[in-house]
Amino acid sequence: MNRSTAPANPCEQALARWCERFEAQPLKVAVAFSAGADSTALLLAAQQRWPGRLVALHVHHGLQAAADDFESHARRFCARHGVELRVERVRASPEPGQSPEDAARLARYAALARLAHGADVGCVLLGQHADDQAETLLLALSRGAGVPGLASMPERFERAGMCFGRPLLDVPARALRTWLLSEGHAFVDDPSNADTRFTRNRIRAVLMPAWEVCFPGFRPMLARTARHAAQAQRLLDELAVLDLAQTGVPPQIVRLQALSRDRQTNALRHWLRSSAGVAAATAQLDELLDQIEACTTRGHRIHLKVGPGHVERDGECLRYTPAL
């Protein structure tokens, strides 16, 4: 079948829209290639858009016996399609209180950034799609998340000095698989995705089909909700920057007290996140705000555990002291 009459890869238009929104035309681009359906469709679309300027990055986690087969498939696929492949093997050991999934995710991003820097790549594209975004939003709702959680996965972000992009957040998983199968492109299925011990997999197996019955075609609607939440979070961040310009950084207590409680909350969240990389829980922030309100004398003490460290009073200001 000629290219002009072949069915279009659903990733191609999504990739074009993403590039237009972010004015992204890197000299060299990478795709995080797990060898699964989503990253396979994205790799083929990226190859069509950037011929000769594409690198596939594969991270071998070593978490399951099938990992060797994933790497072997990735090598064969890239060799068949003339795409450069770079592979790194990682062993992600979770820290105390950290899940194996979180440890693997952080190790994966670190490895992708290292591989991308080594390949002189300008941006790494990730294959998360509309189903992944819907699952992320439902997971956030189940945990009582605020606006940052409801914003779910951003379309573009930076980590370890590397730009990452998610151009497929509006593309349903079914569209990707249907196209791959119609074109005869092979991909692997991760058996761990069927393990319902993991909350995300239970959402995929139970909640998503129920939502589809009640609200057919709901995935783009949830993706739109995530975009609205992301816009609201950007506005809250802008307000926090303005308020912190008045309170100082670190914040002066008396100037914080001049703000409404809601603006104090927003400013403190932004300060902790931007200066210490800490996300405070709602109960912790409520307690901190109570302590700030009660701080009316020179000798009043403020001391509260937030994340791995503590927020304390330091003269007229707050300070965050990380755990040793």
In a domain? residue 243: no
Domain boundary among 199, 218, 237: 218
Same domain, 22 and 82: yes
In a domain? residue 289: yes
Say whether pLDDT at 2 is over 60.
no
In a domain? residue 223: no
Whichever domain contains 87, its CATH number is 3.40.50.620
DSSP annotation string for 263-298: HHHHHHHHHHHHHH-----HHHHHHHHHHHHH--ST
Strand order in the sheet with 123-125: 84-89, 54-60, 29-32, 123-125, 162-165, 156-159
**How many C-beta neighbours within 10 Å does residue 307 have?**
17
Distance CA 28, CA 25 (A): 8
**Rg of the chain in Å (alpha carbons):** 23
Total domains in the fold of the chain:
2
Per-residue pLDDT at 169: 93
Q: Which amino acid is at 69?
A: D
Same domain, 27 and 89: yes
Q: What is the largest CA-CA distance in the chain?
A: 80
Per-residue pLDDT at 190: 81
Region 196-203: what's the mean pLDDT?
86
Contact 284, 301 (CB under 8 A): no
Same domain, 208 and 84: yes
25-61 pLDDT, tens digit each: 778 999 999 999 999 999 999 999 999 999 999 998 7
Domain assignment of residue 181, given as a range? 10-129+154-218
pTM: 0.84
Same domain, 197 and 317: no
In a domain? residue 44: yes
Whichever domain contains 309, its CATH number is 3.30.465
State the pLDDT confidence band at 176, using cuts at 50, 70 and 90. Answer: very high
